[in-house]
Amino acid sequence: MQLSSLIDPAFVQLGIAASDWRDAVRKSAAPMVSAGVFESAYVDDIISGAEEHGPYFVLTRGVAMPHGLPEAGVRSPALGICRLEEPVAFGNAACDPVRYLLPFGSTDAEAHLDALTALVDLISDAMFFETIDTALDASPVLAYVRAAETKREEA
């Protein structure tokens, strides 16, 4: 499955204000909840999981991929891209503060491994974040994701 097929333009949010990590997670996932692809219980599961196990979804410096259990309320697979106006601490000393959130939900644990592999490639690409930082809307971000997929397929 292509990563770009999981990202609706409405799921790309730029310059979001968040008061803390919980607020950041809720706001980053809000477009997916509004679209009906995530139930609000899924977002609650993400937050309670982090409260119980720590910020397991902070992947690298400045980047988090909030996700929970598929059965907690994912109706269809989706990925969001959210740039916070100001970074917030998630409680991961090595990677705080977090500016970019990539809320992810899958309907089962294994169906979207290809998409996650592509996502790992993207988050290791500084130009991806530069594109997010300079974008005024979703268009250049989605174009970058599609171009990265094409390059990956040709490799």
What whole-number percentage of the chain has pLDDT above 70?
Answer: 97
Catalytic residue among 26, 67, 83, 99: 67
Q: In sequence order, what DSSP letters do the residues of the chain get, joined into one string?
A: --GGGG--GGGEEEEE--SSHHHHHHHHHHHHHHHTSB-HHHHHHHHHHHHHH-STTEEETTEE-----GGGTBSS-EE-EEEEEEEE--S-TTTPSEEEE--EE-SSSSTTHHHHHHHHHHHT-HHHHHHHHH-SSHHHHHHHHHHHHHHHHH-
Say yes or no to pLDDT of 41 above 90: yes
Confidence tier at 69 by pLDDT (50, 70, 90): confident
Residues 44-51 have a mean pLDDT of: 96
The pTM (predicted TM-score) of the whole model is 0.94
Total count of domains within the chain: 1
67 is catalytic: yes
Q: Which domain holds residue 119?
A: 3-154
The domain that holds 81 is classified in CATH as 3.40.930.10
